[in-house]
Amino acid sequence: MSNGLKNIEDVIKKHPILLFDGICNLCNNSVQLVIKNDARNIFRFAPLQNAEVIKFLDKHTTNFNGIDSIILITPKKIYTKSSAALTVAKQLKGLYPFLYIFYIIPKPIRDLVYDFIAKNRYKWFGKQESCMIPTPELKNKFL
């Protein structure tokens, strides 16, 4: 995709993009949960392993190289780790927005819990050999 960076930048203007570890079973299941509960169809998705995503992050960020789980990119801000997860939860239907109350906990403490889960996610939930391939019905939600 020669215009990949432009495409990502265009998508961000209309939709927050959730970047995730495409080989992590926990991450893939979380993306499926977000899709199912994204009643307003606002989120778009891309695996962190995507070459265009890597180029975009290299171009627009300097401090996200070590993050290998989730990143939420919005027009105004880039969220990582627990802040990304809670910001996504706030936009979902059902009881998920109530999780946003955990935002009052200082980020370093929230991220300690997040990092513990992220560090053990392959051991606890397993991983796939390659990134998930979206179904034809969901293809328009993925970059």
Q: Per-residue pLDDT tens for 91-123?
A: 999 999 999 999 999 999 999 999 999 899 989
Cα–Cα distance for residue pair 42/124, rounded to 1 Å: 30
Contact predicate 54/9, CB 8 Å? no
3-state secondary structure of 83: helix
CA of 17: how far to CAs of 10, 48, 84, 122, 127, in Å?
11, 11, 11, 23, 22
Query: What predicted TM-score, i.e. pTM, was given to this entire model?
Result: 0.85
Q: Which residues of the chain have pLDDT under 50?
A: 1-2
Domains and their CATH numbers in the chain? 4-135 (3.40.30)
